[in-house]
Chain A
Amino acid sequence: MLKENIIEIKKSLFRISDVLELCSVYIFCFFLNTLFEYIKTLDLESYILKEFLNKFTTYQKLIVLLFTFIVIVFHYQMLHRKKTEIFCKKLVGDTIFNITIRYIFDCLMILIFIYLLSSLVNIYFNFNLINNLYLVGIFFVYIIISAREVQKYENF
């Protein structure tokens, strides 16, 4: 029987390498935001160091937001790479709707996992848990926008 053999193939567009890549970009963004929060709690004696770091913490939100662009790059390149896969799956019995929903679900699962991980770090450092929440919102918007791109690849 072939049933066991097909376990290797997944309906999801994500492969292990894609999951690791998305985890890495999420971790980087959450880490950066937490790092800023950490810097803000530092009671630095050095005025020069304080001034230097102030130049970054003043623009914390903007800097983090600009760095989140790498998440957009990830979604863009991943879907672009998967266009043949999306078409082939549609060809053999999948629907664009299901592929899109699965894609959103997978992205959200990874996002929630990384957010929870970052929350643990925040709890450890006694930081406010909502510090990283705005990033979840931004990433959610990115996921929704990128999911709309799936239908672009329904034709080969």
Chain B
Amino acid sequence: MKIFKFIISKIFLRKAILGISMILLLCMANYTTFTATRSILSTYQGYQETKYINQNGVYIANLDPDSYIDMDVITKDRTQVVYEYLNNNFNYAFYTDGFVVTIPNIDNMEISLSYINEEYYKLNQFELSQGENLDFDYQLDNEIPVLIGKGLSKTYPVGSTIEIEESVLGRPITLKVQGVLKQNAYHSNYYALNSKTYYNFSILVPVNEEFINNANIDLQLNGLMDLTILDTTNEKIINLSEILKENLGLEFNFFSQKENYDYFNEYYIHSLKIIAITTLILLIVITCISIWNALVSIRLMLKDFTINFLVGLSYSKLRKIFYSYFGILSCINLTVIFIFTAFNRYGCWLRKDASFATYGLFGLIGIDWLALFVVILSDIIIGIVIIENMLRKIKKVPISLGVLQ
């Protein structure tokens, strides 16, 4: 410890610029690794979510990007015709969100209402921390059982009721808290699997046929955008497309399991490969610059090291000192990345961004911790490469020559 303190304070810190540059380079490497890992993990989580709906006979609706929405043509009567057709001919999972409501809560967040039907609920297997599963067999005039996110559970414990002015029904309704979702429950965007909405400040409202029939055009139309048709055939889907076109003037694409699988392989795997390769190249470049920086340090500190060799320092001791020193630099960087991430997560709370507000130690969630773990692994690899190169360089120079330098 004494030797370590001596070498750190009398050799390394006397040339602080070299230490700072190493910290900055490591910071770049860590940020790159962290960002890439989080992107990959988040996409993987999204993929896991879609696995439930990515089955044979399942088709996912998607509005054709070239299709023009003419709101003059689309009326409640017409959307109603579409839903009647859907109810009579299909088994479908309904999901739509983004309807904001203001209700009192201790964090003063705006609350998002997500509407799901029974099929969607069954497919997604929501995990609860308290309470019971949703019940879809209710009357609109009575209390509607809902699931709420963790952020609302203190204000609205299980069994309590919430009075809201329901925008899609256009009248006040009473929601009864049936259960609380596990913290950081999320919903991934099917067309951007790495992007997700957290349910911590959401209310999951179960919708049944009666609800949809009484809902306004916004809910009915939005619901069609993410519609998932279950247990069906291609012929029936073609008919549905025609009904949609006829009544709403909209072109919908319905992607089958194979198309989804191919899309995933083509789009996501390709993107993830590019991310992985880019990250690898960046890490190699940063490692090379770090080696240059380390060798520059050795060039300038060689005399100090060799004089220490002269008076009893061994290569194995120096190796330990180097690894400890690198460990300290790495810890500084991990702290920086940690603070940066915590600050970003905390920023969502400050901005009252309910869709992204998450719970966790210092606001960090599972993928953040996993990404930090990968950063530690990458630091270990980079550290080994740099330190072994430094030692090789030092060993190459005879002690006598080093002292003279």
B-contacting residues of A (Cβ < 8 Å)? 28, 46-49, 51-52, 55-56, 63, 66-67, 69-70, 72-73, 76-77, 80-81
Contacts and interface: CB of A to CB of B under 8 A. Distances in A.
B20 A49 contact: no
Contact of B193 (A48, A55, A67): A48
Interface of B: 17-18, 20-21, 24-25, 27-28, 32, 35-36, 39, 43, 191-195, 267-268, 270-272, 274-275, 278, 289, 292-293, 296, 299-300
Given A47-B195, A48-B192, A51-B195, A69 B24 contact: yes
Nearest to B20: A69
Given A67-B28, A72-B21, A48 B296 contact: no
7 A-B pairs closest in CB distance: A47-B192, A46-B271, A49-B271, A77-B296, A48-B271, A73-B21, A48-B194
A28 B21 contact: no
Contact of A70 (B39, B191, B289): B289
Contacts of B195: 47, 51
A49 B194 CA distance: 10
B17 A48 contact: no
A81 to B, nearest CB: 7
B51 to A, nearest CB: 17
Most A CB within 10 A of own CB, among B24, B195, B267: B24
B299 A77 contact: yes
B253 to A, nearest CB: 16
A49 B274 contact: yes
Nearest to A51: B194
A66 B43 CA distance: 29
Given A69-B20, A73-B18, A48 B272 contact: yes
B300 A52 contact: no
B293 A49 contact: no
A56 B21 contact: no
B268 A48 contact: yes
Most B CB within 10 A of own CB, among A52, A56, A69: A52
A49 to B, nearest CB: 5
A32 to B, nearest CB: 9
B35 A55 contact: yes
Contacts of B293: 70, 73
Contacts of B267: 46
B35 A48 contact: no
A47 B42 CA distance: 13
A77 B300 contact: yes
B275 A49 contact: yes
8 contacts: A47-B194, A48-B39, A51-B192, A52-B39, A52-B275, A56-B35, A63-B28, A70-B292
